[in-house]
Amino acid sequence: MSTLTSAELTTVYTDLHAHPELAFAEHRTAGIVADRLRSGEYEVHTGLGGTGVVGVLANGDGPTVLLRADMDGLPLTERTGLDHASTDTATTPDGHETGTMHACGHDLHVTCLLGAAAELAARRTEWSGTLQVLFQPAEEVGAGARAMVADGLYDRIGVPDVVLGQHVMPFPVGTVNLTPGTSMAAADSLRITLHGTGGHGSSPEATVDPVLMAAATVQRLQGIVAREVGMGEQAVLTVGSVRAGTQANIIPDRAELLVNVRSFDHGVRDRVLAAIHRVVDAEAAASGAPRPPEYEQIALFNPTVNDPDAADRTRTALAAVLDEHEDAIREAGSRPTVVAMPPLSGSEDVGDLATTAGAPLVYWNVGGADPAAFAGVDVSAVTGMGSLPDGVAPNHSPFFAPVPQPTLDLGVALLVGAAREWLA
């Protein structure tokens, strides 16, 4: 398996970016990954958890190291204006037509792991052990890692001694964030269906209006964090979607809310979720709903927790990689920087792979933003996507567009450096 040049990495990346696929539908991406791994000497496992792919390279005695990348895109219409912008569309599981976009950088993650897999295979005389390169579906819905595990992942590939991975973020190129301990939040996503009694818009008195019920519920839900979570605690509650009705003069018989909760503490998490049920049930009762609301958990992310000792060990390797690439980083207008930011409010399911294996997790962020946008900004003062400079698009924005180079080259080198630190 030959190594990938900078130009080849960029070609792979732009192709993947132009063709994002939603959770558990990453068939094209998985096919590209499997074909490239087969061109080397990897033992390739496909169809894990639906569309997951794992390449295994056994190379003598030593530790087993798992490198992970996620593959799925988002149901979002791209607005970057890039030449390689996605114009693809898809149908969501609930039947809605949508644009699709790699607005969270999973295209970059896949490309970097393919590059790292090629380089580690080409340099296998320099290390010993077993390398597992795992390409995971459905991270965006928090189900892909669990699906692969439930499909017999570790029975088929063996149990790793450490799980390593990275995520591109809108920090300057050349910046790496590695936070020991809890590094990302837990997240719960709920679909809540409110039931009313439909009728003609001219006679609302003959109905129970679920639109009004939904409006009152959305407003009241915002009081949970504002009035029930203390200053020393942290939580975020977002109502990301409200759906009801099809015509201006028809009062529908139901409304649907999609609600997302993020937290770092299990006690806070339980309290907020209980409050959501209390508030929604009370608003339905106050509206005279003909039957109680229905609740469906549509996504669940546990907190992402980096093993402190493993993180310290890996941090040294990542810093060494940045030092080796200092000239390219400075040419891009940045400087090599390793920071430990406070826990981010975003969520990840990579921890499920480590927890199930009983292995330490080390998961870091790699900057992919144009350094010019951070002129005069102290990167160590950036505490997450809410404190980005003006004009820097966060993950999940239709304008999210990492700088391909030198981000790709650095992403490959960081994965290789981290893996080499753990391989014999």
3-class DSSP state of 24? coil
Same domain flag for 81 and 10? yes
User: Considering the chain, what is the average pLDDT of its residues?
Assistant: 95
Question: Where residue 322 falls among pLDDT bands split at 50, 70, 90?
Answer: very high
Residue 77: CA count within 13 A, CB half-sphere: 3
Taking CB atoms within 8 Å and a gap of at least 24, the contacts of 327-335 are: 328/406, 328/409, 328/410, 329/173, 329/174, 329/406, 329/410, 331/406, 332/173, 332/174, 332/371, 332/403, 332/406, 333/370, 333/371, 333/372, 334/172, 334/173, 334/174, 334/175, 334/367, 334/371, 334/374, 335/174
Give the distance between the most distant pair of CA atoms in the chain. 79
Same domain flag for 153 and 216? no
- Residue 96, pLDDT > 70, answer yes
d(CA 5, CA 348): 30
- Residue 185, pLDDT > 90, answer yes
- Neighbouring C-beta atoms of residue 95, cutoff 10 Å: 6
Q: What is the CATH number of the domain that holds 191?
A: 3.30.70.360
- Residue 387, pLDDT > 80, answer no
Q: Is the dihedral of CA 201, 204, 207, 208 positive or negative?
A: positive
Domain limits for position 260: 186-301
- pLDDT given for residue 377 in this prediction: 78
Rounded mean pLDDT, 369-379: 85
- pLDDT given for residue 205 in this prediction: 96
pLDDT in tens, 28-70: 999 999 999 998 889 999 999 999 999 999 999 999 999 999 9
Q: Is residue 392 part of a domain?
A: yes
pLDDT in tens, 98-107: 999 999 999 9
- pLDDT given for residue 380 in this prediction: 66
pLDDT in tens, 12-29: 999 999 999 999 999 999
The helix (run of H) or strand (run of E) holding residue 188 is: strand 186-195
- Neighbouring C-beta atoms of residue 384, cutoff 10 Å: 16
Rounded mean pLDDT, 260-282: 97
d(CA 390, CA 392): 6
Same domain flag for 310 and 352? yes
Q: Is the pTM of this model over 0.75?
A: yes
- Residue 406, pLDDT > 70, answer yes
| Domain count of the fold of the chain | 2
Same domain flag for 40 and 161? yes
- Residue 1, pLDDT > 70, answer no
At residue 137, φ and ψ (nearest 5 deg) are -85, 165
Same domain flag for 75 and 177? yes
Domain boundary among 301, 323, 354: 301
Same domain flag for 53 and 171? yes
Question: Where residue 385 falls among pLDDT bands split at 50, 70, 90?
Answer: low
